[in-house]
Amino acid sequence: MLQPGLTGGSQDSYVKHMLVKGKSKGWRVVVFNSRGCANSPVTTPQLQTASFTADTCHVVDHVSSRYPKASIYAVGWSLGGNILVNYLGREHRRCSLSGAVSLCNPFNLVIADENLRKGFNNIYDRALRGGLSRTFDKHASLFEEMHDEYNVQAGLNPRTVREYDEAITRVSLGYKSVDEYYSNSCSCHVVQHVRIPLLCIQAANDPIAPIEATPYSDIKDNPNCMLIVTPQGGHLGWVAGDDAPFGAPWTDNVVIEFLEHLQKNASKPESS
């Protein structure tokens, strides 16, 4: 199962590259398009959020019921990685995944929010808020019916990602403030509860998922978790490798090798 980042979906190149890699191994590949992403239909006033894991539960349960004998693995990028790790930690008692990979996970949204508003990073904030407002514009009518609760105009023309989340996201989840939403959406708080193999890949110079937000100690203390930190790469910018500059990032090979290792060990018969 592939879980794209903020406003991302099956149309994005990094998702397609991983899909092709997975298919080449003979795996069934499912892309989870979050609410409102990749032109997915929305019938209620809630779009993709960092802390809502019920949809992930539903997708995993659906795939598991369709293929009850299959090992299921998940890969999440950026905000999708944060949602995925939140799912792994919060639902560890019922999680039916056999392994997972998180790439460029912001982990701590409080720190990520502060970092986005520093200096040159506002260019990334501008790009993200543009994606949010375009997605919201397609479904604004659902929110206009509840105009007293949502600030629809701010959702259509937010000055920052934070302003959008204050106007729309935190309201849909019932939080009193955007800071409460960010604080309660941090996947760094639940890494310690992850009970399946999890590989986290981060870049030290990522402007959207700042390295200081990465929970080094909690990952180290959890025997189920591994962490790779590259000195370069930015945000989903690992372009070096055999397929550079327009093909799959080199990290795709690492992800596939990790999942193949898990699958190989899962297929070994237990010793008597």
Enumerate the active-site residues: 78, 206, 235
Both structure tokens of 141: 């009518």
- Return the percent helix, strand and coil in the chain, to nearest 5: 50, 10, 45
Short-list 222, 226, 254, 224, CA closest to 238? 254
Beta strand 198-203 with 225-230: parallel, antiparallel or unpaired? parallel
Q: How far apart are CA 116 and CA 133, in angstroms?
A: 17
Angle between helices 122-144 and 109-116 (to 10 degrees): 110
Determine which helix (DSSP H) or strand (DSSP E) holds 102, and give its type and residue range: strand 99-103
Chain centroid, CA 83 distance in Å: 5
Burial label, 240 (beta-carbon count in 10 A; 0-12, 13-18, 19+): middle
Report how far apart, in Å, the C-alpha atoms of 87 and of each of 11, 12, 121, 227, 272 are.
24, 23, 28, 18, 34
User: Looking up tokens 């990073």, which residue turns up?
Assistant: 121
Could you write out the DSSP letters of every residue in 198-245? EEEEEETT-SSS-GGGS-HHHHHH-TTEEEEEESS-TTT----STTTT
Both structure tokens of 143: 């929110």
Both structure tokens of 211: 């390295």
